[in-house]
Amino acid sequence: MQPGTSGGPGGQSQGIPPTGMVAPPHPSAARLNDLLEFVKAEFEQVAGEGGVLRAQREEYEAMSESESFLFSLSLSLSGISREV
């Protein structure tokens, strides 16, 4: 063996590519990236749906409040008309 090429002191460790070379990605790294992209897309979709649901809830609450006001107004008017 030549000096500097063994796994000992001054040499390169096994499993680490030489300087300037890039190790090929692990097969599961691509799968992990795909899964993370899927989770990100699902999260964005749910967040968008949450915004729509929030707007619908606010619209429903406003409608409910106005109907409640109209109902109480009609009760008041019917009470007044009975007194007259």
Tens digits of residue pLDDT in 30-60:
899 999 999 999 999 999 999 999 999 999 9
Identify the domain containing residue 70 by its residue range.
26-84
Instruction: Assess if residue 71 is contained within a domain.
Output: yes
Sign for the CA dihedral angle at 60, 61, 65, 66 comes to negative
Instruction: Assess if residue 19 is contained within a domain.
Output: no
* DSSP codes joined into one string, 7-55: SSTTSPPTTSPPTT--PPPPHHHHHHHHHHHHHHHHHHHHHHHHHHHHH
Please give the tally of structural domains in the chain: 1
Instruction: Assess if residue 56 is contained within a domain.
Output: yes
> 68 pLDDT band (50/70/90 cuts)?
confident
Q: Is residue 71 packed enough to be buried (19+ CB in 10 Å), middle (13-18) or exposed (0-12)?
A: exposed
